[in-house]
C-alpha cells in the first residue's frame, strides 16, 4: 500500500492511494510525482479546494466516481481531451462536486488518513487568502 505526503504551508497530510478501486487514476498520479502546484477555493461546490488540470489526465477513465466525497476524500475529474475541465478536488466540509454547468463526478483515488482534523483550517486559509502552493510526494 502506497502513501502520499501532502504539504501546504504549515499543513501536512498523509493519504492512502486507493489502488484497488481507482487503479488507473493512481497510476496516472504516481507518474506526476512529485507534483507541485497551486490549490484554489472551489467556486460552485461548497467547502472544497481544487487544482486545475486542464486536459492533463483526460485519458483516465471514470472509476469509483462520486459527486459527494466526504472530508478527507480526494477525487480526480478527468475532464475532456479537447475542452479540458479536469481537476483534483479536495473537500474540507459539506460539499457537492459541481461546476457552473452542473454536477461533476470524480474518481476517489486518495484518502487522508493523518491530519484530517486540520482540513477545515486549511480550507479557510485558501478561501480567505487565495491560492496556496501545495506539494504531493511519495511518503517514506
Grid coordinates in use for 41?
477555493
Per-residue model confidence as pLDDT tens for the chain (140 residues): 899 999 999 999 999 999 999 999 999 999 999 999 999 999 888 999 999 998 989 999 999 899 999 999 999 999 888 877 899 999 999 999 988 888 899 999 999 999 999 999 999 999 999 999 999 999 97
How many Cβ atoms from other residues are within 10 Å of residue 33's Cβ? 14
What the block records as the C-alpha cell of 118 is 486540520
Range of the domain at 99: 3-138
Q: How many domains does the chain have?
A: 1
Q: Please report where in the chains the cell 483516465 appears, as a residue.
A: 60
CATH number of domain containing 118: 2.40.100.20
Amino acid at each position: 500500500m502506497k502513501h502520499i505526503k501532502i504539504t501546504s504551508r504549515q499543513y501536512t497530510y498523509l493519504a492512502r492511494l486507493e489502488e484497488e478501486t481507482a487503479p488507473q487514476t493512481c497510476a496516472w498520479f504516481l507518474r506526476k510525482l512529485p507534483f507541485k502546484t497551486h490549490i484554489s477555493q472551489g467556486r460552485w461546490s461548497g467547502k472544497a479546494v481544487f487544482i486545475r488540470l486542464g486536459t492533463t489526465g483526460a485519458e483516465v477513465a471514470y472509476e469509483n466516481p462520486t459527486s459527494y466525497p466526504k472530508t478527507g476524500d480526494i477525487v480526480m475529474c478527468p475532464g475532456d481531451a479537447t475542452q479540458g475541465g479536469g481537476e483534483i478536488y479536495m473537500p474540507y466540509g459539506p460539499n457537492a462536486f459541481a461546476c457552473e454547468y452542473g454536477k461533476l463526478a470524480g474518481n476517489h483515488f486518495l484518502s487522508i488518513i493523518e491530519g484530517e482534523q486540520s482540513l477545515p483550517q486549511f480550507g479557510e486559509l485558501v478561501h480567505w487568502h487565495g491560492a496556496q502552493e501545495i506539494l504531493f510526494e511519495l511518503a517514506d
